C-alpha cells in the first residue's frame, strides 16, 4: 500500500456517527486522495464464517466513505452522510482467523447532496477480502433534524456493553417452502448508540446483519447447511428505522444452485412501509 499521512483534520468531527458505532482507528490519507483506516473485528454471528461478516465490512466501509465525502465537502461542517445503497462482494471463500484489518476507500462521485465511494478490506497479509461500492444521501444538520423532529430523544443513557458486539437477534422465524419471515421487534435507543445523537435509529449495517441472519435460516431450510459465507449483497436503504418503531422481515428464495448456494431477496418493514431491501447470494459451508 502507498505511503500515507495521518490526517491533521479530524474527519470524525465532520460526520454524525460516533463511538461505539464508529470504531475506526489510525485514519490516514494517501497521495491519490484515498482515506485509509484500521479496524478490529468486532462482531461475527456464529453462523457466518469469517474472518469478517459481510455486513460488518459494510458498516466500516460506509463510515470511512462518509469521512472521505466529508473531507472533500466544500462546507467543512457536520453533515449526515446517509448510506442508501451498498454493493458488497467477498473476493474468496477461504475461512481463517484475522483480528485486525485495513480499509481503504476511494472517491467515485460527489455532489452537494449525494456521493459514492469504492472500498476495499485488507487482512493482515494485505489480501483483499471484500470490495464495496457505497452510495450516499447528504443532508446538512438543519435539514435532517427538521425532517426528523418527531424522532428526537433527549437524555439517552449510554450502555456499558456495545450493542454492536451483543445484538438483538431475529425472533419468530417462520419458513414456508421458499418464503421466510421474522421479527426484530421494537427498536430501542440503546441499540443505536453512536447513530445518531438524540435521533437514535437502527444502522443500515445492523439491518444488513439481520438480512444475513434471515438468509442463513432460509439456507438451512433449503440445503440443510448450518453455516454460510455471504458471497455478495446489494442493500438498498429507503428510510431509517427510529427508536420506538417495530421492524419485521420477509424474504423469498430467488435461486438455488448446485453447490449449496442460494440467492435470496428480502425486505425489512416498519408497518407496511419497506425501509430496506437486499438481494444476497450465500453459500453453505
Identify the band that residue 46 occupies on the pLDDT scale cut at 50, 70 and 90. Answer: confident
Specify the pLDDT at position 12: 80
**pLDDT per residue over 99-133, tens digit each?**
999 999 999 999 999 999 999 999 999 999 999 99
Q: At residue 238, what are phi and psi to the nearest 5 degrees?
A: -95, -30
Q: Is 50 exposed, middle or buried (0-12, 13-18, 19+ CB in 10 A)?
A: middle
Arithmetic mean of pLDDT, 19-42: 93
Which residues 6+ apart lie within 8 Å of 220 measured at CB? Answer: 226
Specify the pLDDT at position 261: 96
Specify the pLDDT at position 119: 98
pTM, to two decimals = 0.94
> Is the pLDDT score of 170 beyond 60?
yes
Amino acid at each position: 500500500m502507498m505511503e500515507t499521512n495521518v490526517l491533521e483534520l479530524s474527519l470524525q468531527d465532520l460526520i454524525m456517527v460516533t463511538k461505539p458505532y464508529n470504531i475506526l482507528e489510525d485514519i490516514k490519507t494517501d497521495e491519490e486522495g484515498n482515506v485509509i483506516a484500521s479496524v478490529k473485528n468486532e462482531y461475527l454471528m456464529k453462523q457466518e464464517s469469517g474472518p469478517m461478516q459481510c455486513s460488518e465490512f459494510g458498516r466500516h466501509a460506509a463510515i470511512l466513505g462518509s469521512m472521505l465525502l466529508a473531507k472533500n465537502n466544500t462546507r467543512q461542517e457536520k453533515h449526515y452522510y446517509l448510506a442508501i445503497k451498498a454493493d458488497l462482494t467477498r473476493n474468496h471463500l477461504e475461512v481463517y482467523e484475522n483480528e485486525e484489518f485495513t480499509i481503504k476507500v476511494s472517491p467515485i462521485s460527489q455532489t452537494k447532496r449525494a456521493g459514492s465511494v469504492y472500498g476495499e478490506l485488507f487482512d493482515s497479509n494485505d489480501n483483499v477480502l471484500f470490495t464495496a461500492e457505497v452510495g450516499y444521501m447528504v443532508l446538512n444538520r438543519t435539514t435532517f433534524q427538521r425532517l426528523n423532529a418527531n424522532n428526537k430523544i433527549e437524555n439517552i443513557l449510554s450502555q456499558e456493553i456495545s450493542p454492536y458486539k451483543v445484538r438483538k437477534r431475529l425472533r419468530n422465524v417462520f419458513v414456508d417452502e421458499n418464503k421466510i419471515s421474522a421479527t426484530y421487534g421494537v427498536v430501542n435507543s440503546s441499540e443505536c448508540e453512536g447513530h445518531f445523537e438524540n435521533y437514535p435509529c437502527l444502522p443500515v449495517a445492523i439491518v444488513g446483519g439481520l438480512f444475513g441472519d434471515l438468509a442463513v435460516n432460509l439456507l438451512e431450510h433449503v440445503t440443510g447447511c448450518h453455516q454460510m459465507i455471504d458471497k455478495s449483497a446489494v442493500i438498498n436503504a429507503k428510510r431509517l428505522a427510529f427508536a420506538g418503531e417495530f421492524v419485521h422481515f420477509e424474504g423469498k428464495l430467488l435461486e438455488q444452485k448446485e453447490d449449496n448456494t442460494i440467492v435470496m431477496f428480502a425486505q425489512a418493514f416498519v408497518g407496511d412501509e419497506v425501509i430496506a431491501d437486499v438481494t444476497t447470494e450465500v453459500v453453505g459451508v
